[in-house]
Amino acid sequence: MTPGRRQAGLVRLLGRPVLWVGALFLVLTFTMDRIAPHLGFLFPPGTRLVYSRASFPELVASHAMLTGLASLVAIVVGLAAGVFATRPAGRDYAATLEMLTAVAQTFPPVAVLALAVPAMGYGAAPTVLALVLYGVLPVMGGVVAGLRSVPAPVLDAADGTGFSAAGKLWRIELPLAAPIILAGVRTSVTIGIGTATIGSTVGALTLGSPIIDGLSGSNPSYVLQGTVLVALFAVTVDLAFGELEALYHPRR
Amino acid sequence: MIRFDAVTKSFGGRKAVDDVSFAVEPGTVCALVGTSGSGKSTLLRMVNRLENPDSGRILFDGVDIAGLAPVELRRRIGYVIQSIGLFPHWTVARNIATVPRLLGWERGRVEARVSELLDLVGLEPEIHAQRYPDQLSGGQQQRVGVARALAADPELLLMDEPFGAVDPLTRRSLQESLAAIQKRTGTTVLLVTHDVEEAIRLGGTIAMLEHGRLVQAGAPAAVLAHPASEQVARFFGGPLLGLHLLQVLNVGERTDFSAAPAADGEPIPAGATLEEALARMIADGVAHLPVLDAANGRRGTLNLTDLVGR
C-alpha cells in the first residue's frame, strides 16, 4: 500500500463518527471516577461526586450483557415470528402475531417489571423479560416488511426454477430483505439500551443504577454520569448499525 | 412431450381453464394465444405445477405430473416470465447458474455452461458475466432470463409472454435469437403470448384459448386459412387476417418454376415469406419477381397474382 493510499484510508476511517463517539464512550467509562471529582462546581456544595456502589466499567459490562442477551432473544423470536407470518402456513396468523407484538410494546416496561418481580424475583431476570417483550415488535416488523418487499416476479422465478421453500427463504428472500430486517434490529437494540436503565428499579445492575440512586438521593452528579454514559452507549451502537447497513448492499 | 387431458381449473368459482385437451410434440414450438383472462397463463403454470388442475391430467413424457415432486419437475423445465424475475442480488453468471447449482453440478461444469449460454443468447462472457441485473438493459435482462431457463438443458421451456415488456425492435431481435436457439437445441417450447405476430413467427403450432376453452389448435397457416370461429378470425386480425397469412406462406410454394425467370433484378429466396415478396414488389413497383431456390438449384418467377393462390 502506498503512503498516499494509506493516508486516504486513515482519513476515511477518521471521518466515521462511530469511532469518535465509541472512543469517547470507552474513555469516559474508564475515567469517569477520575473526572467527576473535578466537576464539583456544577453541583450544590456537599454533593458526593463519584458514584461508588459499582465501578463504571462494571456497570457498562452488566448493562451490555443484559441488553445483549435480551436483544438476542428478541431477534430470534422476532425473526421466527416474522418468517412464520409470511409463510403460506402462517399467513392466517400474521394479523394476530402483529397485534400481539404491538400489545407487548404498548405495555410499559415498568409495568412488566412490576408484574414480573413477584414471579421472577428482583434483579436481571425481570429486566431481560421486559426488554425482550419490548424488543420483539421492531424486529418482527422489519422481518415482515422486508420479506414482503421482495418483488413478486423474483418469487415466481424462484419457485419456477425449482427452489425448495427453505432454499428460497435462505438464498433469495432473506438476503433481499436483509436491509429492512437490519433496520428493525437496529431500532430494537437501540431502544433496548435506553430502556434497560429502568431495570435498576428492580435491582438489576445497569447504567440506570447511578440515575435511579441519584434521583432518589437527590444527587444530580450521579444522574449526569449515568445519563451521559447510557446516551453515548446507545449512540455508538446505533452508529455501528449504520456502518453495517452501509456495508451490506444486496442490490448494490 | 406434453399432453393436456381434459384439464380444468377454477378460481373462486370461475373456470379459468375448462376441459382443455391437446398435445405439444417434442422439439416443436407451441404458441398459446388468447385475450387477457383466456386462461393461457394458468394452463402454462400448471405444467410446472405452480398451479394444480382441479381435474384432468397433464402428461410430461407420458408421465402424469401429479405424481412428480414439484421441485424436481421444475428443475427439468425452463421457465421464463415477462417480468423476468432475475435475482437482483446475484451477478448474471450466478443467475444463469441457478438450476445447475440446485442440481449440484460441480463448479467447473457450471462455469463452462454459463459461458456457453452467454454466447448462445448473444451476450459476452467477459463483459456481462460479472454484472448485476440492474446494470443491464431490459433486452439484455431477458436474454439472461432465457439463458437461466436453458442452463440445465431442460427438455421443455415454458415462456409466459417473455418479450412483452421490451420495445418492438428488441423484441424482434429476441424472437430471432429464440428461434435460432430453439432450432439448435431442439428444446420443446410452450409459449404464451397475446401478440399475433409473435405467435405466427415462432409457433410451429398455435393453440387458441377463449374463456378457458381451447377453440382451435394447428399450424399457423391452417389456423389463418380456416379460422374455427368468428373470435379466432377477429383475434388473428379480422379484416387484416389475410395479411397475416402472407407471413406464414413462403415464396417457393407459390412460384412457377416451369419456365425460365421472366423478371429481372435481384432474385428473392424461395424461403422468404410472401409478405416480404409483396413488400419488395410495392417498394420496387413491379408485379413479377425472380425467385432463386438455392436448395434445389431452381429459378422461377413469382407473379403478383400468385400471392392470392396458384
What type of residue is B210? Answer: E
Task: Return the pLDDT at A99.
Answer: 86
Give A202's DSSP letter: G
What type of residue is B1? Answer: M
What type of residue is B288? Answer: H
Q: Is B132 within 8 Å of A176 when comparing Cβ atoms?
A: no
Task: Return the pLDDT at B191.
Answer: 95
Are the CB atoms for B302 and B289 separated by under 8 Å? yes
CATH superfamily of B249-307: CBS-domain (3.10.580.10)
- Chain A CB contacts of B68 under 8 Å are none
Question: Searching chain A, which residue's CA lies closest to the CA of residue B103?
Answer: A162
Closest by CA position to A60, among listed A26, A98, A20, A14: A26
Residues 211-230 of B with CB under 8 A from A: none
Backbone angles phi, psi at B82, to 5 degrees: -60, -45
Give, rounded to a whole angstrom, the gap between the first and last alpha carbons of chain B: 36
Q: Which of B81, B83, B132 sits opposite A252 (nearest CB)?
A: B132
Three-class SS of residue B3?
A: strand
**Mean pLDDT score, A218-238:** 94
CA–CA separation, A240 and B287 (whole Å): 79
pLDDT-flagged residues of chain B (< 50): none
Question: Which triple of cell numbers denotes residue B38?
Answer: 383466456
Cα angle vertex B45, ends B181, B105, to 5°?
55
Where exactly are the structural domains of chain B? 2-245, 249-307
CA–CA separation, A11 and A14 (whole Å): 5
Nearest-Cα distance to chain A for B82, in Å, is 9
Highest mean pLDDT among A52-61, A113-122, B259-268: A52-61
For the cut 90, the answer to whether the pLDDT of residue A39 exceeds it is no
Closest by CA position to B67, among listed B58, B80, B54: B58
- Chain A CB contacts of B83 under 8 Å are 151-153, 156
Backbone angles phi, psi at B24, to 5 degrees: -110, 120
Q: Is B89 within 8 Å of A250 when comparing Cβ atoms?
A: yes
**Mean pLDDT score, A176-190:** 95
Of the pLDDT bands very low, low, confident and very high (cuts 50, 70, 90), residue A211 is very high
Task: Return the pLDDT at B190.
Answer: 97
- Chain A CB contacts of B75 under 8 Å are 161-162
- Chain B CB contacts of A158 under 8 Å are 85, 87
Q: Is A163 within 8 Å of B84 when comparing Cβ atoms?
A: no
For the cut 60, the answer to whether the pLDDT of residue A2 exceeds it is no
pLDDT digits (tens, 9 = 90+) for B107-162: 999 999 999 999 999 999 999 999 999 999 999 999 999 999 999 999 999 999 99
Task: Return the pLDDT at A121.
Answer: 85
Task: Return the pLDDT at A6.
Answer: 67
Q: Tell me the longest C-alpha to C-alpha distance in chain B.
A: 66
pTM: 0.85
Task: Return the pLDDT at A3.
Answer: 57
CA–CA separation, A97 and A79 (whole Å): 12
Q: What number of CA atoms fall less than 13 Å from residue A150's CA on the CB side?
A: 29
CA–CA separation, B287 and B282 (whole Å): 8
pLDDT digits (tens, 9 = 90+) for B28-56: 999 999 988 899 999 999 999 999 999 99
- Please state, rounded to an integer, the average pLDDT across all residues of chain A: 89
Task: Return the pLDDT at B310.
Answer: 66
> Which CB contacts under 8 angstroms, 24+ apart, belong to B194-197?
B194/B33, B194/B34, B194/B35, B194/B36, B194/B161, B194/B164, B195/B161, B195/B163, B195/B164, B196/B33, B196/B235, B196/B236, B196/B237, B196/B244, B197/B244, B197/B247
Tell me whether B72 touches chain A (CB under 8 Å). Answer: yes
Listing from the earlier edge strand, what are the strands of the sheet with B288-293? B268-269, B288-293, B298-303
| Fold type of domain B2-245 | Rossmann fold (3.40.50)
Task: Return the pLDDT at A231.
Answer: 96
Alpha helices in chain B (DSSP H): 40-47, 70-75, 92-96, 98-102, 107-120, 125-128, 138-150, 168-185, 196-202, 220-225, 230-235, 241-248, 251-254, 274-284
pLDDT digits (tens, 9 = 90+) for A161-174: 999 999 999 999 99
pLDDT digits (tens, 9 = 90+) for A148-161: 999 999 999 999 99
Task: Return the pLDDT at A1.
Answer: 45
CA–CA separation, A199 and A65 (whole Å): 13
Residue A238 burial by CB count (10 A; 0-12/13-18/19+): exposed, middle or buried? middle
**Mean pLDDT score, A64-85:** 96
Q: Which of A157, A161, A176 sits opposite B89 (nearest CB)?
A: A176
Q: Which domains does chain A have, with CATH numbers?
A: 65-247 (1.10.3720.10)
